[in-house]
Structure 1
Amino acid sequence: MAQTNVNIRMDSDLKTQFEAFCTDMGMTMTTAFTVFAKKAVREYRIPFEIGAEVPNAVTRKAIEDAKNGIGMSKGFSSVKELMEDLNADD
């Protein structure tokens, strides 16, 4: 089977960490990427879950602010009371 080169750009610190990981696993970075590619092609999917931290930092801060009453308006018992507050001269 013919071989070809693939160039991948990544953060240099991540590369160093990944090289160390691969060494610990007894393989090269080339072997690790080849294993990934073969599994992805065989299963026709990314062979691991990709996601963001849920909730993310912005959402966690908003939740914490709400719990602490930061940036919240006072409660209203009627639309009339809300409108009076909105129309009041502060």
Structure 2
Amino acid sequence: MSKSSTNLSLDPELKKASIELFNDLGLDLSSAVTLFLKQALRVQGLPFEVTRVNPNAQTIAAMNEYYKMKNHPEKYKRYASFKDALNEVLEDA
């Protein structure tokens, strides 16, 4: 089977770490990329699940609070500076 050359632009650290990993697995970088491409063709897509990180309940609650405050700023106290806000917190402590 004839071969065709392809150039890849990789971050140097990513390339170095990948070469080390694949060497430990008995592969060179070219063989590893070939395996990736063959598997992608076999599954007709990326050969691994691609997902976005789902925020946890605490993050969702914080985001909802932010949007509530942003949409109704008149309901919330504002401070001229962080120092003013901190002083009020320290006074209540």
Segments of 4+ moved more than 4 angstroms: 70-73
Q: CA deviation at 1:54?
A: 2.5
Q: Which whole-Å deviations, capped at 9, do the CAs of 1:12-53 have from their partners, x for residues lacking one?
A: 111111111101111001010001111111221111012233
Distance change >3 Å, CA 61–CA 18, structure 1 → 2: farther
Q: CA deviation at 1:7?
A: 1.0
- 2: CA distance between counterparts of 1:71 and 1:46? 35
Percent sequence identity over matched residues?
A: 26
Decide which structure has greater helix share: 2
Q: CA deviation at 1:10?
A: 1.4
Does 1:29 find its partner at 2:57? no
Task: Return the letter of the residue paired with 2:5.
Answer: N
Root mean square deviation, CA, Å: 3.4
5+ long unaligned stretches in structure 1 = 74-81
Q: TM-score, normalised by structure 1?
A: 0.60
Equivalent residues, number: 71
5+ long unaligned stretches in structure 2 = 76-93
- 1: CA distance between counterparts of 2:18 and 2:8? 13
- 2: CA distance between counterparts of 1:52 and 1:71? 21
Q: TM-score, normalised by structure 2?
A: 0.58
